[in-house]
Amino acid sequence: MASAIEMAGEVRAHRGGAVDRITAALAAARVTNRLCGAYIELLEEDAVEQARRVDRIVRDPAAPDLPLAGVPVGIKDNICLDRGRTTCGSRMLENYRSAFSATVARRLMEAGAVVIGKTNLDEFAMGSSTEHSAFGPTRNPWDPSRVPGGSSGGSAAAVAAGDIPVALGSDTGGSIRQPASLCGVVGVKPTYGRVSRYGLVAYASSLDQVGPMAGCVADAALVLDVISGEDGLDSTSASRPGESFTADLERPVDGLVIGVPREGRSLSNHPAVASALERAVEVYRSLGATIVEVGLPMTDHGIAAYYVVACAEASSNLARFDGVRYGRRAEVDPGNSIVDLYRRSRSEGFGAEVKRRILLGTHVLSSGYYDAYYLTALRARRRIKEDFDRALGGSGCHVLLMPAAPGPAFVIGEKTDPLALYMEDVYTVGVNLAGLPAVTIPAGFTQGGTERGTARLPVGVQLIGPAWSEARLLRVARMLERELNLPTVAPAMASPTP
Ligand code: GLN
């Protein structure tokens, strides 16, 4: 499929209009939705209307160039849009219509992108499989009996299916990078503060970042160019001089030093993950990079620290969904109290995983447990950050290379124990706790394909850099992508598992 860069170039050069492009993307998305449930809502009419507007602009010689002219995009459904619904994959917001668009969505549309749909996610972005959406699971286009990862599984699946070259996801503990790995696409988690969170429905505010998911590194870089930068509507967005992530992308990094954390070579990794990682190491070595072994000794404590911090923040952020200020209101008898109304609305509106996290978060913040859990988790968070500082700064490494997830896509329904699912995030949560940027890129496949019914599944690797090093990180990612040259669109979804 054409990249976003190619598509926008054609629309700008009047070789094919945006309306045709968008009509074709919508047709593809309808099929993907039937097979994979990648979208919660397709914005059929509105998308064609947006495309008409783009076609008018590109015909106007006085209008500025649109970097994403006529490019179809998907937006994770926890990102507000002033059209369609913003559900967060929850019954609670089943009928919620946002009155405004998130800054990231607005910037994409101003750059000429056309939002064709809102993509599926685990309820309120809590999960690693996109099985926990109130509107049904998303399936992996490489093998529809398997999960796409999560929580941005709909965005990952839509890109992997080839409907759209780019989509937005959000990453609080790995929700861009893990599904990118399981669906064989590129995913970027920016430095905390690089991208505005205005209009992103908050899960854990000190960890959340929006970022691109794309079929290639260059498209991800282009989208990051468009969405990043200070926003007066989000005081945590950093004021930094404008920077281009595309300008220098093709230039390899000279004297590259790559740190490979010992902890990323865990024996519990799936063999395909282990071999993709070693292959990536060899590719970089053959390109002249120096490879050094480093340690991230706090890795094993990341999950515990993350789930305490994330649940604590979530319990506070989700308090607004009470059926009065926000969210679906339960029907209660007139004689009932306001507390009954809150209780019923929240019981009916939230799914089991969200309730589990609100309970956990409330518990760790409650008096008597605050020191034992919450403060301990904050201390661990600091130590995790120091681990990264040491591995990156101290050892002189430009980037760290490790898996994005311990295994490839697993079968839907296979991981019933919440803890087994939390372990999917073992390689991703540290990056959020430390506020760092990271990129997942496809790096190989499982064997599969030999026996009937076993599809080849993609696996990715993750590159992690110091804060604000996205430009270099993407160049390093591009070096590997150029050498491996792997397909990022799944082969036709011929016989979906019912
Ligand atoms: N899987 C992690 C969680 O469930 C990360 C989710 C995310 O990044 N939104 O919290």
**pLDDT of 221:** 98
Question: What is the per-residue pLDDT across 3-45, written as a single tens digit (0 to 9) for each?
Answer: 999 999 999 999 999 999 999 999 999 999 999 999 999 999 9
From atom 4 of ligand 1, which residue's Cα is the shortest distance away? 127
pLDDT band at 493 (very low <50, low <70, confident <90, very high): low
pTM: 0.97
Query: Where along the chain do its domains lie?
Result: 4-257+398-484, 299-378
From atom 5 of ligand 1, which residue's Cα is the shortest distance away? 173
Return the ligand 1 atom nearest residue 176 CA: 8
From atom 10 of ligand 1, which residue's Cα is the shortest distance away? 126
**pLDDT of 496:** 43
User: 450 CA to middle of ligand 1, Å?
Assistant: 33
138-170: burial string, b at 16+ Cβ within 10 Å, e else: bbbbbbbbbbbbbbbbbbbbbbbbbbbbbbbbb
Residue 297 to residues 198, 257, 262, 300, 302, Cα–Cα distance (Å) = 34, 20, 9, 7, 10
Give the mutation target among 123, 126, 133, 428 for probing the ligand 1 site: most ligand atoms within 8 A of CB: 126
Question: What is the per-residue pLDDT across 217-265, written as a single tens digit (0 to 9) for each?
Answer: 999 999 999 999 999 999 999 999 889 999 999 999 999 999 999 999 9
**pLDDT of 498:** 38
Question: What is the per-residue pLDDT across 66-108, written as a single tens digit (0 to 9) for each?
Answer: 999 999 999 999 999 999 999 999 999 999 999 999 999 999 9
Residue 284 to residues 189, 221, 288, 376, Cα–Cα distance (Å) = 22, 21, 7, 38
Which active-site residues does the annotation give? 76, 151, 175
pLDDT band at 453 (very low <50, low <70, confident <90, very high): low
pLDDT at residue 361 is higher than 60: yes
pLDDT at residue 329 is higher than 90: yes
When the pLDDT of each residue in the chain is averaged and rounded to a whole number, the result is 95
pLDDT band at 449 (very low <50, low <70, confident <90, very high): low
pLDDT at residue 497 is higher than 50: no
User: 208 CA to middle of ligand 1, Å?
Assistant: 9
User: 12 CA to middle of ligand 1, Å?
Assistant: 38
Question: What is the per-residue pLDDT across 45-65, written as a single tens digit (0 to 9) for each?
Answer: 999 999 999 999 999 999 999
**pLDDT of 242:** 83
User: 357 CA to middle of ligand 1, Å?
Assistant: 11
pLDDT at residue 454 is higher than 90: no
Interval 167-176 mean pLDDT: 98
Domain 4-257+398-484, what architecture? Alpha-Beta Complex (3.90)
Token pair for residue 348? 């009916």
Pocket of ligand 1 (CB under 6 A): 125-128, 151, 170-175, 203, 310, 425
pLDDT at residue 450 is higher than 60: no
Residue 267 to residues 34, 39, 415, Cα–Cα distance (Å) = 38, 36, 20
**pLDDT of 495:** 45
HEC letters along the chain? CCCHHHHHHHHHCCCCCHHHHHHHHHHHHHHHHHHHCCEEEECHHHHHHHHHHHHHHHHCCCCCCCCCCCCEEEEECCECCCCCCCCCCCHHHCCCCCCCCCHHHHHHHHCCCEEEEEECCCHHHCCCCCCCCCCCCCCECCECCECCCCCCHHHHHHHHCCCCCEEEEEECCCCCHHHHHHHCCEEEECCCCCECCCCECCCCCCCCEEEEEECCHHHHHHHHHHHECCCCCCCCCCCCCCCCCCCCCCCCCCCCEEEEEHHHHCCCCCHHHHHHHHHHHHHHHHCCCEEEEECCCCHHHHHHHHHHHHHHHHHHHHHHECCCCECCCCCCCCCCCHHHHHHHHHHHHCCHHHHHHHHHHHHHHCCCCHHHHHHHHHHHHHHHHHHHHHHHHHCCCCEEEEECCCCCCCECCCCCCHHHHHHHHCCCHHHHHHCCCEEEEEEEECCCCCCCCCCCCEEEEEEECCCCCHHHHHHHHHHHHHHHCCCCCCCCCCCCCC
Residue written as token pair 């700008």? 12
Return the ligand 1 atom nearest residue 207 CA: 8
Return the ligand 1 atom nearest residue 204 CA: 9
146 or 448, higher pLDDT = 146
**pLDDT of 491:** 86
Cβ(158)–Cβ(37) below 8 Å: no
Interval 311-328 mean pLDDT: 96
